[in-house]
């Protein structure tokens, strides 16, 4: 089986010399040992490591449920936030043609916006609908609010019994509010493994059910992830792209490059970047440490953020996420009146123009002081995307341990929630509510 992913770091050589590389390699190998031995913080959440192999036992049940959803519905509404929806959306949007007709997966519960929810509900009036609600606790504010609205809507539309048949809950095995509701209403249920955190859950039913419902081959997705798991066992960067990427990121961070930009030249990769930002941001960003993850979609963003990348502060490094620039079937036509001056491209495919845009960008940014590497996918299919997502998971676990943080918790996520609950008057938050309102009154008074 050929390696579906190649990592080219040539444009980092000017800043990452042999000594820097060796120092980071030693650090990452030590972190890799911590990960593989299960001796580091967060070791209770290492179930993702062999999840591609474990989840093969669930494939038949997931595919069967997905087939039923597709046969009975025109739309699956995926209700979840963060890791409960980003992995599935990343895979679905990467592998589903834009503007396709037929079965759709749409999303709710990933923000708090009533106008969006109203518009989504209005769009479903003439469509058959199923729901997959995903939450370990069932009390996370954004999906819980959306599910409350959708549950009522489904029961009013279909009746309680039929609505229950059309709702699938992916939740905790034995506890939580959603688990309780799912038992009471007799929803079909899938389990979020106890030893897998949300942002590492794409290879569990959390990601696999909606991905399968979208018509994507989840067996191939798991095969790719399992193949990358095999490569990740190697301590040789040339044989292990996850290790290579982790060493490179560590070396650049030590050189003061504290912002990483994931840049693609294909809009289908937008949600891979969104998933990547959550994975790396929540895993590394602790105790005043970590690389800040950002993303751009080129060539669109070369006309906006491109200026900053080329000439702004030099704390940046860039990772291009690419796939084969094979012909996409669109060729630049020749015209008699060459007013736009593009006849020199006549007969050239858009793919070739795009490839040269990447090459030109990588050279310009490197010369402008932004070292960059390229992750090149053999092709855009389920196997390759599975390998890519697993590679990112393994990389960030090693980078987190090398930074001296727990890659598998997210204590900072709770700060805004406590404040929001207090301001909304949730029982038990009265003292914090009073404190926050005093602060707000002081701010408002000083701003007048």
Active site residues: 282, 303, 417
Q: CA nearest 181: which of 158, 205, 154?
A: 154
Cα–Cα distance for residue pair 147/141, rounded to 1 Å: 10
| Separation of first and last alpha carbons in the chain | 67
Query: Which segments within 33-109 are labelled E, that is strand?
Result: 75-79, 104-108
Tell how strand 167-171 and strand 104-108 pair up.
unpaired
| 400 and 18 Cβ atoms separated by less than 8 Å | no
Taking the C-alpha atoms of residue 430 and residue 19, their distance in angstroms, rounded to an integer, is 55
Q: Are the C-beta atoms of 74 and 213 separated by less than 8 Å?
A: no
Residue 277 half-sphere exposure toward CB, CA atoms < 13 A: 18
Q: Are 225 and 211 in contact (CB under 8 A)?
A: no
C-alpha separations of 84 from 48, 93, 95, 207 in Å: 14, 15, 19, 8
What is d(CA 10, CA 340) in angstroms, rounded to the nearest whole number?
35
Adjacent-strand bridge partners of 259: 292, 316
d(CA 32, CA 243) in angstroms, rounded, equals 8
Q: Point out which residues pair with 75 in neighbouring strands.
A: 104, 129
The answer to whether the CB of 91 falls within 8 A of the CB of 144 is no
66 CB-near residues (< 8 Å, 6+ apart): 209, 212, 213
Instruction: Classify the phi-psi angles of 447: left when phi > 0, otherwise alpha if psi is within -120 to 50, otherwise beta.
Output: alpha
């Amino acid at each position: 089986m050929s390696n579906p992913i190649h990592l080219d770091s040539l444009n980092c050589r000017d800043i990452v010399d042999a000594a820097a590389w060796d120092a980071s390699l030693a650090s990452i190998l030590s972190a890799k040992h911590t990960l593989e031995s299960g001796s580091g913080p967060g070791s209770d959440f290492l179930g993702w490591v062999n999840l591609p192999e474990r989840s093969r036992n669930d494939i038949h049940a997931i595919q069967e449920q997905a087939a039923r959803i597709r046969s009975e519905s025109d739309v699956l509404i995926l209700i979840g936030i963060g890791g409960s929806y980003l992995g599935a959306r990343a895979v679905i949007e990467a592998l589903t043609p834009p503007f396709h007709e037929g079965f759709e997966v749409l999303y709710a519960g990933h923000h708090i916006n009533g106008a969006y929810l109203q518009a989504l509900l209005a769009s479903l009036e003439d469509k058959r609908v199923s729901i997959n609600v995903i939450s370990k606790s069932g009390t996370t504010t954004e999906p819980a609010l959306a599910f409350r609205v959708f549950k009522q809507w489904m029961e009013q539309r279909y009746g309680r019994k039929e609505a229950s048949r059309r709702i699938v809950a992916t939740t905790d095995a034995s506890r939580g509010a959603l688990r309780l509701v799912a038992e009471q209403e007799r929803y079909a249920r899938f389990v979020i493994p106890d030893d897998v955190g949300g942002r590492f859950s794409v290879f569990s039913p959390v990601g696999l059910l909606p991905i399968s419902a979208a018509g994507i081959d989840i067996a191939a997705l798991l095969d790719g992830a399992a193949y990358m798991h095999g490569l990740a066992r190697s301590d040789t960067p040339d044989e292990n792209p996850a290790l290579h990427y982790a060493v490179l990121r560590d070396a650049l961070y030590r050189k003061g490059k504290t912002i990483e930009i994931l840049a693609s030249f294909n809009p289908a990769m937008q949600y891979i970047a969104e998933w990547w930002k959550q994975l790396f941001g929540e895993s590394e960003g602790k105790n005043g440490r970590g690389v800040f993850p950002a993303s751009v979609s080129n060539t669109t963003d070369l006309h906006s953020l491109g200026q900053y990348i080329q000439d702004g502060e030099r704390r940046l490094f860039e990772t291009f996420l690419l796939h084969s620039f094979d012909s996409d079937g669109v060729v630049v036509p020749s015209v008699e009146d060459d007013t736009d001056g593009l006849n020199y491209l006549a007969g050239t495919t858009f793919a070739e123009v795009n490839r040269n845009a990447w090459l030109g960008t990588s050279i310009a940014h490197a010369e402008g002081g932004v070292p960059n590497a390229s992750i090149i996918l053999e092709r855009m299919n389920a196997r390759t995307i599975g390998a890519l997502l697993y590679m990112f998971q393994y990389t960030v676990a090693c980078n987190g341990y090398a930074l001296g943080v727990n890659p598998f918790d997210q204590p900072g996520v709770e700060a805004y929630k406590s404040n929001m609950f207090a301001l909304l008057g949730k029982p038990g938050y009265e003292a914090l509510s009073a404190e926050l309102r005093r602060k707000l009154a002081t701010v408002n008074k000083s701003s007048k």
